[in-house]
Amino acid sequence: MFIFAITSLISVPVLLYYESQTGVTPPSSQNASAGGGYFLYFLLSMLLFTAVIIFLSRRKKTGIFRYLFGAAMALAIFYMASIVYVFAFNLLAEYVNIPLTSSQYEIVYEIAVLATAAIFFYVLTFRQNWIAINFAGVMASSVLAIVWSQSLGLYFAILLLVVVAVYDYIAVFVTKHMVELANASLESMVPLFFIMPSSRHFDSSNLRIEGGSEERGAILLGFGDVAIPNIMIMTSFSYFHYQIFPFLILPLLGGLVAMVVLFTYIKRPAPGLPFLNTGVLLGFGAALLINML
């Protein structure tokens, strides 16, 4: 629950600061039906990513996956750092008397952003650590929520959550290729999951999909299970002119309640998005009702 909530809470100030600096007006605030092309692009990208990972896994090329994962996470960290460091460096220049010219500040800023992304690429690719994976997952999920909330209109954001929830259910219980994808990621020692160890003596080599959290040694939650519901939360917040209540709080609460239900009553590996997306959409529906009263 903490990871889900912190992803939303991080996304909010970054989204506001990003828009204040760029002057970008999100399509969602102009037209509820904007974003059809981005909707299709998102779905195709998701399907292509899944196909590539399964293809590499079946040909025992999972080592390549580690580099792809490291590069993707480093790109997300680069994007987030490039926004956060602007804010940090502006504060530094305003309140701390450091004898640097604007061009020198720019050089230091660029070095800091690149160094941060490079460090995470190294750690995630060559030094497996569940804390680094969780941190990178939060940053990547936050970036995804920010970027896609600015690209999808309200209607297509809702449609995305519905379609992806149905797809997740089919991929886990019918075609089962999502289970294959999860196993492939574990085989390559690059889990596409948030990892919440059940004990202090957690050993990442014991990670597996089957069994309960005690048998696996940790609770696992896919990056997409956090990122995709948060797209709707950020879209709701953005489309309704940044009203914290009800259009941020209620969709977020809906997602958190759904997560409690998921981890309390579902004891076997299960698709998270049918629960989480439903919770977020119900929270959004409650926000609409309150707004109409």
pLDDT tens digits, 196-255: 887 766 666 666 666 555 556 678 899 999 999 999 999 999 889 889 999 999 999 999
Gap between the Cα atoms of 180 and 188, Å rounded = 12
Q: Where are the domains of the chain?
A: 2-20+27-49+62-292
Q: How high is the pLDDT of residue 241?
A: 83
In the predicted structure, residue 61 carries a pLDDT above the cut 60: yes
As a whole number, mean pLDDT of residues 100-119 equals 88
For residues 227 and 11, what is the distance between their CA atoms, to the nearest angstrom? 11
Q: What is the rounded CA–CA span in Å between residue 71 and residue 117? A: 9
Instruction: Burial-class residue 98 by CB neighbours within 10 Å (0-12, 13-18, 19+).
Output: exposed
pTM of the model: 0.90
pLDDT of residue 213: 55
Largest CA distance in the chain: 63
Q: What are phi and psi of 193, to 5 degrees?
A: -135, 155
pLDDT at 236: 94
Q: pLDDT tens digit string along 262-277?
A: 988 776 778 999 999 9
- Give the HSE-up count for residue 220: Cα atoms under 13 Å, Cβ half-sphere: 28
Predicted confidence (pLDDT) at residue 164 exceeds the cutoff of 90: yes
- Comparing 166 with 25, the larger pLDDT belongs to 166
The neighbour count for residue 290, using CB atoms within 10 Å, is: 12
pLDDT band at residue 91 using 50, 70 and 90 as cut-offs: confident
CA end-to-end span of the chain: 30
Q: Is the pLDDT of residue 175 over 60?
A: yes
Say what the pLDDT of residue 21 is: 66
More confident residue, 141 or 31: 141
